[in-house]
Chain A
Amino acid sequence: MYWTGLSPDEARQFLANKDKSKRDKRMGLKEAVQKYVKDGDNIGIGGFVNARQPVATVFEIARQGRKDLTLSFQSAGLAIEYLAGAMALDDSKNNIKRLELAYWAHEAFGISPLFRYLTENNKVELEDWSNYNMSARFKAGSMGLPFIPCRSPLGSDMLKTNRAKIIDCPFTERPIMLLPASHPDIALIHVQEADIYGNCRIQGPLYTCPEISMASAHTIVTCDRLIEHDDMTRYPNRISIPFFSVDAVIEVPFGSYPGNCNGIHYFDEKHIPEFRTACEKFRKGDPVALQKYYDDYVFGVENFAQFIDKIPFEQLQYVQKIEPSTTLEAAFKVLE
Chain B
Amino acid sequence: MTKYAEDFTAQEMIVVAGSRTLVDNKVVFAGTGLPMVAITLAQLTHSPGIIPVFEAGAVGPSLSRGLPLSVGDSRTTFRANYLLGLNSAFELTQRGFADIGFIGGAEIDPYGNLNSTMMGEFPENYQKPKVRLPGSGGASDMACSCEQTIIIMVHEPRRFNKKLNYITSPGYLDGTPNARWRAGLAGQGPYRVITTKAVLGFDDETKRMKLIATLPGETVKSVQDATGFELIIPSDVYEFEPPTVEEIRLIREAIDPKGYFVRKKIKE
List the interface of chain A (C-beta within 8 A of B).
48-51, 74-75, 101-105, 107-112, 115-116, 119-122, 125-126, 128-133, 135-136, 139, 150-158, 160-161, 166, 174-177, 204-211, 260, 262-263, 266-267, 269, 323-325
Nearest chain A CB to B61's CB is how many angstroms away? 10
Q: Which of B72, B167, B179 makes the CB contact (< 8 A) with A207?
A: B72
User: B74 and A262: CB pair below 8 A?
Assistant: yes
Compute how far the CA of A267 lies from the CA of B134 in the bound complex, rounded to whole angstroms. 20
Q: Which residues of B contact A (CB under 8 A)?
A: 32-33, 54-58, 65-66, 69-78, 83-87, 90, 93-94, 117, 122-123, 126-141, 143-145, 166-170, 173, 179-186, 260-261, 267
Given contacts A130-B138, A130-B141, A324-B66, contact A158 B90 (CB under 8 A): no
Q: Which residues of B contact A152 (CB under 8 A)?
A: 90, 93-94, 140-141, 143-145, 185
Q: How far is the CB of A223 from chain B (nearest CB, A)?
A: 17
For B186, list chain A residues within 8 Å (CB).
151
Is A155's CB under 8 angstroms from B69's CB? Answer: no
Give A119 to B117 CA distance when docked, in angstroms: 11
With A107-B69, A132-B86, A324-B65 as given contacts, are A156 and B56 in contact (CB-CB < 8 Å)? Answer: no
Identify A119's interface contact among B78, B132, B136, B260, CB under 8 A.
B132
Chain B residues with CB under 8 A of A121 = 128
Given contacts A105-B134, A108-B32, contact A51 B267 (CB under 8 A): no
Query: Which residue of chain B lies nearest to A136 when distances are taken between CB atoms in the complex?
Result: B87
**Closest chain A CB from B189 CB (angstroms):** 10
| Nearest CB in chain A: distance from B33 CB, A | 7
Q: Are A119 and B185 in contact, CB atoms less than 8 angstroms apart? A: no
Interface of B is mostly: loop
Given A48-B56, A120-B132, A324-B66, A174 contacting B184 (CB threshold 8 A)? yes
Interchain CB contact under 8 A, A131 and B141:
yes
- Interface SS, A side: mixed
Known: A102-B135, A108-B70, A120-B129. Is A131-B86 also a contact (CB below 8 A)?
A: yes
Residue from A111, A155, A269 in contact with B144 in the complex, judged by beta carbons closer than 8 Å:
A155
A260 to B69, CA, bound (A): 10
Assuming the A-B contacts A107-B32, A156-B170, A207-B72, are A126 and B127 also in contact, with contact meaning beta carbons closer than 8 angstroms in the complex? yes
Q: Are A207 and B57 in contact (CB under 8 A)?
A: yes
Query: B56 contacts which of A51, A116, A126, A324 (Cβ < 8 Å)?
Result: A51
